[in-house]
């Protein structure tokens, strides 16, 4: 089990009132699953994503990530967990503008203190089919390419899960489909994926959907094929290489980087 | 590895905002340049004084009135050295030559030329003791020295100022209205900045004391020891004579005079010039502190601008200390680079000053290194607060920042 969320509660103080952003959220995610967390704005899905991503701690309840209880860890320890166990993909890509693609992807490895960072980063870029754009800066890349660099960065530390927040939100439909195809390919090879989205068609591509409303889980069910529109999975995988990932290890120890091509 | 990437990002960040980076550096550049220039002036002064003292020669002893200096300059000279003291010293063992000295400033005139000049009243032995050679004519004699003769030896600069190209020998100059015959001109020794030995008039001590300045007391007694003499012994012997004559023990024990050798002067001069240098440099350092405030300002702006970036870094695993180090490094790069430019500017100024002002300068490597280290320290000190702000940003809020 990758994620074990137990009665997670998070509230914020807004002036005199206390807002219950998360009011007892419980669910589990197994390894290799691809789930969507959906809900309207104000439902608490951003807060849940921050907690799942170890950017914030729950007020009460437990969050066990890949076998480790991270609910009460120190900020430095959480930073380490974010570095090794979690890969973020943001709606606005969040690449550092003054670094090129390779340097952006290598950054988590540098924070981890690894010496073969450049090699591993190059490998990750090959996995997202951007080996020809390694030295380009973000402003020289299209939206879809930037998001692919972000996915490579999320992959580079071989994390336990990829946490994507509206990954196609800033992309046009076609590019959005490309990115979703990439994510599906990663999932097919064994990666655990958690997508936070408010778009129904994106949610329908996942195998399971957790609906949030007012800080509580209102539904946690597999996406059925008999739902209104058909479950649409992009059926082209142009330009997306099928990655071969070794199964992520629980302890965050990275396998040695392969020197030659994949 | 991360270090070099951080350095690279810092440099890129500075280069992308050239104007802003330069303005941030400006305070440090000016501060360091000022410190280097001030230190150069102080060092130049020290070297000048020490060179002059070295020229004194190692077997020169100077007897002066006044309290012994404790740490540096004796303040306020007493008047208690008389000719009889000088005569008594002549008998002391180890004394080779001796000259009583009085000095004053007076208007010296020839034809239509008129200038205030230093007038030294002494004996012919003075020229030997103080290493003045005669270029033209002669020194005055011992007899002339004792008998209030109206003869004078002048320096080459005085000669040129009063006589131009004409021959001064045998001419009459007026010193304080009294007529003197020029009998000799000294050879040039070189301007030493605050004192020019070539712009002087030497007259017999008796004339100076009785007729020119009305003095009963001497300014000093210069003593040249025999070359093989034990200088300390001679120094003590001279002191003993004066002590007895002045009845120092009867009056409480302290000497009311000094006998100093070259090493003593070196020590005094070093202390004075070092204090002087320290004061100059401290004042200049204030501008360096102001420069540091400028850096802190710019770094605060930079941190705010890069809030989003800091959030992303934290999301991918940067710890607080990582972020702290990154921004400290960027401050140190600014201040360090500003320091380098300041050293260049300061050294250039130090080289230019002697050409435009009476100051001499000397730039020494230790001063440069200290200034560079100080500028790096300013970067760390003033960059600390902005770097801490960056490190403590909440990643969730930072990621939301527009």
The reply to whether B268 falls in a domain is no
Residues 144-203 of A with CB under 8 A from B: 153, 157
- The residue from B214, B232, B260 where one domain ends is B260
CB contact under 8 A, A76 and B320: yes
Q: Where are the beta strands (DSSP E) in chain A?
A: 3-14, 17-29, 34-38, 60-65, 68-69, 86-89, 161-165, 192-197, 208-213, 216-222
- The reply to whether residue A82 touches residue B315, judged by beta carbons under 8 angstroms, is yes
* Whole-angstrom Cα Rg for chain B: 32
**Tokens 């655990």 belong to residue:** A192
pLDDT band at residue A246 under the 50/70/90 scheme: very low
Of the listed ranges A113-127, A198-212, B66-80, B285-299, the one predicted with least confidence: B66-80
Q: What is the pLDDT averaged over residues B117-136?
A: 92
Min Cα separation A105/chain B (Å): 10
Mean pLDDT computed over B276-285: 88
Asked whether residue B266 is assigned to any structural domain, the reply reads: no
Report the 10 Å Cβ neighbour count for A210. 24
Helix, strand, or coil here: B137?
Answer: strand
Please list, in sequence order, all residues whose beta carbon lies within 8 angstroms of the beta carbon of residue B20, skipping any fewer than 6 positions away: B298
Q: Is residue A109 in some structural domain?
A: yes
pLDDT at residue A29 tops 70 = yes
Inter-chain CB proximity A55 and B399 less than 8 Å: yes
Radius of gyration of chain A (CA): 18
Residues B11 and B125 in one domain: no
Query: Do B41 and B67 fall into the same domain?
Result: no
Token pair of B216 as six digits: 């009963």
Number of domains composing chain A:
1
pLDDT tens, position by position, B161-213: 999 889 999 999 999 999 999 999 999 887 766 678 899 999 999 999 999 99
At A104, which CATH number? 3.40.50.300
Confidence band, pLDDT 50/70/90 cuts, at residue A252: very low
Query: What are the two backbone dihedrals, phi and then psi, of residue B302, each rounded to the nearest 5 degrees?
Result: -60, -45
Q: Is B315 on the interface with A (CB under 8 A)?
A: yes
Domain count along chain B: 2
> Which ipTM was obtained for this model?
0.85
**Within a domain: A5:** no
Q: Where do we find the tokens 């109206």? A: B150
Range of the domain at B32: 2-51+273-400
Nearest to B95 by CA among B263, B260, B255, B235: B235
Inside any domain, residue A246: no
Tell me whether residues A76 and B317 touch, CB distance under 8 A: no
Query: Using the beta-carbon criterion (under 8 Å), do B316 and A115 form an inter-chain contact?
Result: no
B79 and B109: one domain? yes
**Which of B196, B228, B260 is the endpoint of a domain?**
B260
Last residue of a domain, one of B206, B232, B260: B260
Instruction: Give tens-digit pLDDT for B32-49.
Output: 999 999 999 989 888 888
**Torsion sign over Cα A122, A123, A129, A131:** positive
Number of Cβ within 10 Å of residue B50's Cβ equals: 15
Report if residue A62 sits inside a domain. Answer: no
Asked if the model's pLDDT at residue A237 lies above 70, the reply is: no
User: Is the predicted pLDDT of residue A48 greater than 80, yes or no?
Assistant: yes
- C-alpha B211: how far from its chain's center? 36
CB B332 within 8 A of CB B16: no
Q: Does residue A226 carry a pLDDT above 60? A: no
- State the average pLDDT over residues A93-122: 91
3-state secondary structure of B61: strand
In a domain, A25, yes or no: no
- Give the CA distances from residue A139 to residues A91, A100, A101, A178, B290, in Å, rounded to whole numbers and listed in that order: 16, 9, 10, 20, 38
A118/A122 Cα distance (integer angstroms): 6
**Nearest by CB to A98, which of B13, B317, B395?**
B13
Establish if A67 belongs to a structural domain. Answer: no
DSSP for B215-235, please give it: -SS-SEEEEEE-TTS-HHHHH
Query: What pLDDT score was predicted for residue A35?
Result: 94
- The residue of B316, B318, B324 whose CB has the most chain A CBs within 10 angstroms, and thus the best one to mutate to test that interface, is B316
Quick one: which H or E segment has residue A131? none
Give A234's pLDDT tier (boundaries 50, 70, 90): low
H or E element that contains B14: helix B2-16
Q: What is the C-alpha separation between A65 and A86, in angstroms, rounded?
A: 10
Do both B105 and B253 map to the same domain?
A: yes
Which of A176, A121, A107 has its CA nearest to residue A147?
A: A176
In a domain, A178, yes or no: yes
Of the candidates A89, A33, A25, which has an alpha carbon nearest to the alpha carbon of residue A51?
A25
A124: containing domain: 32-53+75-222
For residues B335 and B213, membership in a common domain is answered with no
In a domain, B135, yes or no: yes
Whether A94 contacts chain B with CB within 8 A: yes
Cβ separation A79–B317 shorter than 8 A: yes
């Amino acid at each position: 089990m990758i994620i074990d969320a137990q009665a997670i509660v998070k509230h914020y103080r807004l002036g005199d009132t206390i807002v219950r952003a998360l009011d007892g959220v419980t669910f589990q995610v197994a390894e290799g699953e691809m789930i969507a967390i959906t809900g309207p704005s104000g439902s608490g899905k951003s807060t849940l994503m921050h907690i799942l991503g170890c950017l914030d701690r729950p007020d009460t309840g437990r969050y066990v990530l890949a076998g480790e209880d991270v609910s009460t860890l120190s900020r430095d320890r959480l930073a380490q967990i974010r570095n090794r166990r979690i890969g973020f993909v943001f709606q606005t890509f969040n690449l550092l503008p003054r670094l090129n693609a390779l340097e952006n992807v290598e950054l988590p490895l540098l924070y981890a203190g690894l010496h073969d960072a450049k090699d591993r980063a190059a490998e990750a870029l090959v996995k997202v089919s951007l080996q020809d754009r390694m030295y380009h800066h973000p402003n020289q890349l299209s939206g879809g390419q930037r998001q692919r660099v972000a996915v490579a960065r999320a992959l580079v530390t071989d994390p336990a899960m990829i946490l994507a927040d509206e990954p196609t939100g800033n992309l046009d439909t076609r590019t959005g489909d490309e990115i979703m195809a990439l994510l599906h390919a990663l999932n097919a090879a064994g990666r655990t994926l958690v997508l936070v989205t408010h778009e129904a068609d994106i949610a329908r591509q996942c195998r399971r959907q957790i609906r949030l409303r007012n800080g509580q889980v209102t539904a946690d069910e597999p996406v059925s094929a008999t739902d209104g529109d058909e479950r649409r999975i992009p059926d082209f995988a142009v330009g997306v290489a099928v990655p071969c990932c070794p199964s992520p290890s629980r302890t965050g120890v990275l396998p040695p980087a392969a020197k030659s091509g994949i | 590895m991360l270090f070099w990437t951080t350095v690279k990002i810092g440099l890129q960040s500075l280069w992308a905002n050239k104007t802003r980076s330069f303005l941030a550096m400006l305070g440090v550049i000016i501060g360091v340049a000022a410190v280097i220039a001030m230190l150069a002036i102080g060092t130049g002064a020290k070297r000048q004084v020490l060179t002059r003292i070295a020229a004194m020669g190692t077997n020169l002893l100077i007897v002066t009135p006044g309290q012994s200096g404790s740490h540096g300059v004796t303040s306020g000279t007493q008047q208690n050295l008389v000719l009889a003291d000088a005569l008594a010293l002549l008998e002391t063992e180890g004394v080779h030559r001796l000259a009583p000295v009085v000095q004053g400033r007076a208007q010296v005139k020839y034809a239509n030329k008129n200038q205030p000049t230093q007038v030294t009243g002494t004996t012919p032995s003075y020229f030997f003791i103080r290493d003045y050679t005669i270029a033209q004519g002669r020194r005055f004699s011992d007899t002339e020295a004792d008998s209030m003769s109206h003869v004078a030896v002048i320096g080459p600069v005085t000669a040129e100022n009063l006589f131009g190209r004409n021959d001064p020998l045998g001419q009459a100059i007026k010193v304080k209205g009294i007529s003197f015959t020029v009998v000799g001109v000294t050879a040039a020794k070189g301007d030493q900045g605050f004192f020019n030995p070539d712009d002087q008039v030497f007259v017999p001590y008796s004339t100076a004391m009785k007729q020119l300045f009305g003095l009963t007391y001497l300014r000093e007694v210069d003593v040249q020891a025999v070359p093989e003499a034990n200088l300390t012994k001679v120094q003590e012997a001279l002191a003993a004579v004066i002590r007895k004559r002045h009845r120092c023990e009867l009056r409480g024990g302290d000497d009311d005079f000094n006998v100093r050798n070259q090493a003593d002067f070196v020590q005094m001069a070093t202390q004075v010039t070092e204090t002087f240098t320290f004061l100059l440099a401290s004042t200049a350092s204030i501008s360096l502190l102001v420069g540091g405030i400028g850096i802190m300002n710019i770094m605060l702006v930079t941190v705010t601008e890069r809030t989003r970036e800091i959030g992303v870094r934290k999301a991918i695993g940067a710890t607080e200390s990582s972020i702290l180090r990154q921004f400290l490094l960027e401050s140190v790069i600014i201040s360090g680079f500003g320091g380098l430019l300041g050293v260049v500017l300061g050294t250039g100024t130090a080289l230019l000053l002697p050409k435009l002002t009476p100051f001499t300068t000397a730039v020494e490597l230790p001063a440069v290194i200290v200034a560079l280290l100080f500028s790096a320290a300013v970067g760390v000190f003033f960059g600390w607060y902005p770097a801490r702000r960056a490190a403590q940003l909440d990643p969730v809020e930072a990621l939301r920042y527009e």
